[in-house]
């Protein structure tokens, strides 16, 4: 299984891109941090990212999702990885927990993710959500931390510029066809009207 990561600033359109790729037939693993935040907020915790165990909880869920087997020889697209969680810990000024450290060591040792990582560039604004309470300026600083972390761990960043979703999808698919050596008909899902927006 070949796993490729989408990363970037909060609010850069990464999850919108992941959703569009999923609609086109790609195997997409959703972002763990957003789901951890939503679950905790449903329990009444307004800012779960302030909890000491937050980064370890995210890393644990990332591991669970990564370990779900896919079809042999398949390509998966991961909306973030444990290195994003390390970037989050650094951005928050916290030491990574034991679970996160173990997970980073494991994915690096096993080569769990491909060396090429898709870096989704900011759109020029951030739309706040319950899980995303960050200014545009702070999101840029957070994106810089992501870039530093991935480069420090030997990853090659493939920059996806600010562009309409369909353009970003086409760029990702073009790179995946080349990187994963897939013919065009195997690299694309069926037509989807939402793709054209």
CATH of the domain at 171: 3.40.50.300
More confident residue, 106 or 132: 106
Q: Given the DSSP bridges, would you call strands 116-120 and 27-29 parallel, antiparallel or unpaired?
A: unpaired
Residues 165-182 as b/e (b if ≥16 CB within 10 A, e otherwise) read: beebbebbbebbbeebeb
Query: What pLDDT does 183 receive?
Result: 67
Q: What domain range is 87 assigned to?
A: 2-190
Percent above pLDDT 90 for the chain: 68
User: Is position 9 within any domain?
Assistant: yes
The total of structural domains in the chain comes to: 1
User: Is position 195 within any domain?
Assistant: no
CA angle 197, 11, 22 (to 5 degrees): 50
CB 8 within 8 A of CB 119: yes
User: Is position 196 within any domain?
Assistant: no
pLDDT category, 184, cuts 50, 70, 90? low
Backbone angles phi, psi at 39, to 5 degrees: -65, -45
pTM recorded for the entire structure: 0.87
User: Is position 186 within any domain?
Assistant: yes
User: Is residue 181's pLDDT more than 50?
Assistant: yes
CB 130 within 8 A of CB 38: yes
Query: Order of strands across the sheet with 2-8?
Result: 27-29, 75-79, 2-8, 116-120, 156-160
Query: What pLDDT does 126 receive?
Result: 80
What value does the mean pLDDT of the chain take? 88
User: Is position 167 within any domain?
Assistant: yes
User: Is position 42 within any domain?
Assistant: yes
pLDDT in tens, 60-105: 999 999 988 888 888 999 999 999 999 999 999 999 999 999 999 9
d(CA 126, CA 132): 9
User: Is residue 186's pLDDT more than 70?
Assistant: no
CA distances, 33 to each of 89, 109, 129, 179, 183 (Å) = 12, 23, 13, 27, 33
d(CA 119, CA 157): 6
Give CA 126 to chain center in angstroms: 17
């Amino acid at each position: 299984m070949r796993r490729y990561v989408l990363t970037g600033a909060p609010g850069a359109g990464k999850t919108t891109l992941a959703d569009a790729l999923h609609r086109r037939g790609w195997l997409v693993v959703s972002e763990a941090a957003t789901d951890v935040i939503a679950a905790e907020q449903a329990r009444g915790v307004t800012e779960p990212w302030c909890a000491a165990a937050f980064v370890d909880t995210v890393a644990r869920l990332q591991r669970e999702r990564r370990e779900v087997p896919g079809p042999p020889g398949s390509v998966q697209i991961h909306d973030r990885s444990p290195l994003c969680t390390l970037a989050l810990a650094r951005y928050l000024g916290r030491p990574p927990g034991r679970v996160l450290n173990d997970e980073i060591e494991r994915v690096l040792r096993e080569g769990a993710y491909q060396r090429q990582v898709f870096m989704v560039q900011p759109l020029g604004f951030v739309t706040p959500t319950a899980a995303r309470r960050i200014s545009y300026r702070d999101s840029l600083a957070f994106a810089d931390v992501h870039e530093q972390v991935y480069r420090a761990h030997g990853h090659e960043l493939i920059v996806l510029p600010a562009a309409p979703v369909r353009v970003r999808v086409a760029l990702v698919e073009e790179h995946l066809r080349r990187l994963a050596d897939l013919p065009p008909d195997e690299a694309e899902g069926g037509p989807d009207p939402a793709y054209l927006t």
